[in-house]
Amino acid sequence: MFKNSNAMENELKELAIALYEIDAVKFGEFVTKVGLKTPIYFDLRVIISHPKLMVRLAKTLWKQAEEASGITQICGVPYTALPLATLISADTNIPMLIKRKEVKSYGTKKLIEGNYKQGDHCAIIEDVVTSGSSILETVHSLRKEGLKVTEAFVVIDREQGAKKNIKNHGIHIRSLYSVTTLLAYLLESNKITPKVVRDVTDYLLKYQAPIITVQVTEQLRLKTPFHVRAGKARNAVSAKLLNLMEAKQSTICLAADLTKADEILELADLTGPHIVILKTHVDIIEDFSDDFIKRLKELAKKHDFLLMEDRKFADIGNTVSLQYQKGIYKIAEWTDLVTIHAIAGPSIVDGLKNSLKDINEPRGLFVVAEMSSKEALTTGEYAQNAVSIAQNSNLVSGLVCQSNIFTSLGLVQLTPGVKLSKSSDDLGQQYNTPESVVNSGADVAVVGRGITEAQDKLSATLEYKKELWSAYLKRLSDE
């Protein structure tokens, strides 16, 4: 594309001016992704509205790949770098991969999309780097799939520590611009003043991004032991649950979806020493009584497990407040945990909290973010909004979900639909194996018919307990 270094230099100057003129480079007061205040900000998302400029930028960026060799795949860091990666892929005929922001609970459930094989050499495409965290998260996911990643091509390096952070993980970063060179081009073209250059230069000398590792993000929760996470919990019930799981070496939430009180009590007494939660649907019990609740609480105390009513509250605050504390079930009085839907928004948490004014024991909520039923609508933005609700309330103990969609150490992932063999039923319920759900982020696994319909319920409980705990230990130890 460029016959000599002067031609490359001229192209870089022209591109710098063009980026400034479309407002992709801004000067003022801003805050970066890692929380640093900055007098300069880059918004390269706007290039999608300037296709000719975007094509030039992609071609110039990939010019640096002439010094690399053996690249067989490229992957753009979501989302701003994806258009650049797409253009490079189309122009060079090098296959492209996409890393999802999160694993979907439907379809292939892949984190990395595209065709690849172990050992493929994948290069990273990124727009702007400050600490390098986004690149490292992408690299970590690619390497988990067996891909080789040693190169990253970046439009702008903010000169705040990214190069060192990325180099520490075996990645060579090549950037079109450093902030210093970009400022020089803009000053030479009279787009900015010497004072702006001094302000930005002083800022760069003073503020550096922190040294980071990949595991401060999506993998840290999965690699941290339960007893350590208990100390990070904001909710007393989640702290108790995490410690209980460690003490009993069990992660079973037993779904006692039975319709007779005595059958539930018999099951609770039999399996109680080996489970951490007994989950009920109290409104399906045909002979419900206050005596049933009294005996159930006695068994929970005797065998040291928590009670969860899977009520899935989903109404406005005032209504759920009444449903929680009133009626014949008086749920707030006896259950440690209840499930709620996020559909009503944060006000549902306020409504339930209002019901606990006269309750002395700690209580917790599990927010349903994803469901295990086929073609469930609890995906994407809905799931992320549920996570937001959970992370902003100390009444929430965790989330009901199918995948690793949150990072908070003190929250617990509860995953339904677990059986020793992968299967489904005739009503849309999809089952996954203990190892697969634990690898997908499950801390507590909901086991129902795999135990309740077993001929030897105790043996089945022990088998699930062993399989789930082994998968958890493996999750901690695997690199």
Binding-site residue positions for substrate:
257, 279, 372, 429, 448-449
Among residues 118, 94, 113, which one has the least CA distance to residue 103? Answer: 113
Burial 235-257 (b: 16+ CB within 10 A, else e): bbbbbbbbbbbbebbbbbbbbbe
**Phi, psi angle pair for 352, to nearest 5°:** -70, -35
Other beta carbons within 10 angstroms of residue 341's beta carbon come to 20
CA dihedral sign, ordered 260, 263, 265, 271: negative
Chain center to CA of 102: 6
Q: Long-range contacts for 51-54 (Cβ within 8 Å, ≥24 apart)?
A: 53/15, 53/18, 53/19, 53/22, 54/83, 54/84, 54/87
**Catalytic (active-site) positions:** 310, 312, 315
Alpha-carbon gap, residue 264 to 396, rounded angstroms: 26
Assess contact for 269 and 276: CB atoms under 8 A. Answer: no
Assess contact for 276 and 248: CB atoms under 8 A. Answer: yes
Among residues 266, 282, 302, which one has the least CA distance to residue 451? Answer: 266
Contacts of residue 126, Cβ cutoff 8 Å, sequence gap at least 6: 76, 77, 81, 134, 135, 152, 153, 154, 155
Sequence ranges of the binding site: 257, 279, 372, 429, 448-449
Among residues 346, 348, 421, which one has the least CA distance to residue 388? Answer: 346
Assess contact for 475 and 445: CB atoms under 8 A. Answer: no
Assess contact for 429 and 467: CB atoms under 8 A. Answer: no
Single-letter amino acid code for the residue at 285: I
Write down the H helix ranges in 22-120: 51-62, 82-92
Assess contact for 148 and 119: CB atoms under 8 A. Answer: yes
